[in-house]
Chains A and B, each alone.
Chain A
Amino acid sequence: MSTDLEPKLEALTPQDFARGLEVFHQSLRDAEVSYLSACVRCGLCADSCHYHRAEPALENMPARKLDQIAAVFRGHFTTMGRLAPGLVGAKRFDKDMARAWVDAAFGRCSLCGRCSINCTIGIPLPTLFRAARKALGAMRLVPEDLQASVANSLVHGNNMAIERDEWVETVQWMEEELQAETGDPEARIPLDKQGARCLFTVNPREAKFFPLSLQASAKVFWAAGEDWTLASDGGWDLTNYALFTCEDDQAAAIVTHLSDAMTRLGCEVLVIGECGHGYQSARWMGPEWLKKAFPFPVVSILELMDQYLAEGRLQVDPSRNPLPVTLHDPCNLVRHGGILEPQRRVLRKAVAHFVEMAPHGVENYCCGGGGGQLAMSQYRDRRLKAGGVKARQIQATGAKVVAAPCHNCIDQLGELNKEYQLKVQVKTVAELVAAALITPHSAEVLP
């Protein structure tokens, strides 16, 4: 599956290249076109990129990655590039440049955006790399394993091709576990509850392999007395891998699963579970893709937990999370998504010892698994190497637990844990809150 690029490049026709160029050009706004020739080669981006920090090679430098794309633009869409390509470093879009685009835009970039906020002149590099990914999609050059997750969502309504009865059985199982844990036979994980205030959505990997995070979220809702539901069929999966393939029509179709479920169930608030790209997709990109605003608010479960704690709807005892905890900032949730403080306020209340990484917040480093990297097996070695920056950040905090409000990051952090022998536990924020909850039941058993 992973060595399939060369035959695909061999099979490209002149029409494919023309189509790729057309899609690339059409997806750029005027300002973005000017940014393509705006780089002043100051070099600040090099240090900002986790790929370059982990391996200081020219091809890992954001400005260089961008120039692979801009060179082709100059070669086809600028007068000087057409007349005197050698003079302005312009390239024709051929097999070699298509390979360079795949390597730069898919193979060495997690679309984390850290280069952009550290760019002297604010070049929106992720937007430009997204345009390149979109063009490569039109040329059928998206890595197949990444495309497969999109196909699953379009065909099955979730990115792991989980069938309805499998999902429902898992939810019922977690409901039984929740009842056993809380000692409350009335504790529910509601499915298709018509008119519930909140429609909650999860990452399919929770359902398939790691359902304890779903149980933890449910426990938080139970303790807060929230009126909530999950959808049983379509509209329960918050992921949208078309954000990474940059096929906007497919992204629109996938985000419609969520808005359709909101309409079908008559819910008021769409709640996105702990997932960076899922939040970015539903909260910010969804209306862009659909070209209309949602008639309902989209919030992260982190915001809800923050609100519950502020309103006194949840009582927590931080001593139940005694180990030092640090926090990973998922790029799509924090730098791109704007959710910065809620998770921090929550952790300061729910854990005994909270320690920040340096840097953190909007200046965080990507874990290395973002932008679809986790799904692309062929870049595994680069992904783990680039993740070394995050691994060293974690080590420097001395924390024994890493809170990561994103299931994609959790998987990558789990691999970094093994690769760099970090000896930490990786948990969702809801799992830490659930562990700290003072509930009527737990109050009884306390001395």
Chain B
Amino acid sequence: MNSLMFHGQTVALNEEGFLLDPSLWNEELAAALAKAEEGLDTLSDEHWAVLRFIRSHFEEKQGAPMVRAVCKNTGLRLQQIYDLFPSGPAKGACKLAGLPKPDGCV
């Protein structure tokens, strides 16, 4: 079991660094996850556009959005998404947006 120290509190992560309790997520925690899990010291407006869209999709529908929907709603091109999150849309962006690990070959 992994964990992340956040404001003096221990936040439980699964073995792959995904939040065990997605409801704990907030933007400050996302920034802490970005540093710890993706090595991103700062998050740009483009990072935030992606993370906020993924998070709102998750809160509405309980799953990760298609990368198509991410591109359409943020106006970013596919390659930009890959460049923004080195571990990819699933293990990078979805993780920082506080989603559980997606099912399947990821």
- Listed in ascending order, the chain A residues whose CB lies under 8 Å from chain B are 1-3, 145, 148-149, 152, 159-162, 166, 169-170, 173, 203-205, 207-212, 239, 275, 374-375, 377-381, 407-408, 411, 414-415, 418
Contact = CB atoms under 8 A, between A and B. Distances in A.
Interface stretch (B3-11, B26-34, B62-70): B62-70
A210 B91 CA distance: 12
Given A209-B90, A377-B15, A380-B16, A204 B104 contact: yes
B98 interface: no
Nearest to B79: A212
Given A239-B104, A239-B105, 7 more contacts: A149-B103, A160-B102, A173-B68, A212-B78, A374-B106, A377-B14, A381-B15
Contacts of B91: 415
**7 closest Cβ contacts across the A-B interface?**
A408-B105, A380-B15, A209-B89, A160-B104, A149-B103, A159-B104, A170-B68
Contacts of A381: 15
B106 A209 contact: yes
Interface residues of B, number: 26
B52 interface: no
Contacts, number: 87
Contacts of B88: 209-210, 414
Contact of B105 (A205, A212, A379, A415): A205
Contact of B101 (A145, A173, A207, A208): A145
Contacts of A375: 103-105
Contact of B63 (A3, A149, A161, A212): A161
Q: Which of B78, B91, B101, B104 has the most CB of A within 10 A?
A: B104
A418 B15 contact: no
A148 to B, nearest CB: 5
B14 A208 contact: no
Query: How would you classify the secondary structure of chain A's contact residues: helix, strand, loop or mixed?
Result: helix
A205 B94 CA distance: 14
A207 B101 CA distance: 17
Q: Which of B18, B69, B88 has the most CB of A within 10 A?
A: B88
A166 B15 contact: no
Nearest to A1: B14
Given A166-B68, A169-B66, A380-B15, A3 B1 contact: yes
10 contacts: A2-B15, A3-B1, A159-B105, A169-B66, A204-B104, A204-B105, A207-B66, A210-B89, A375-B105, A418-B86
Contacts of A2: 1, 14-15
A211 B68 CA distance: 9
A3 B100 CA distance: 15
Q: Which of A160, A162, A380, A411 has the most CB of B within 10 A?
A: A160
B58 to A, nearest CB: 13
A208 B15 CA distance: 23
B87 interface: yes
B101 A377 contact: yes
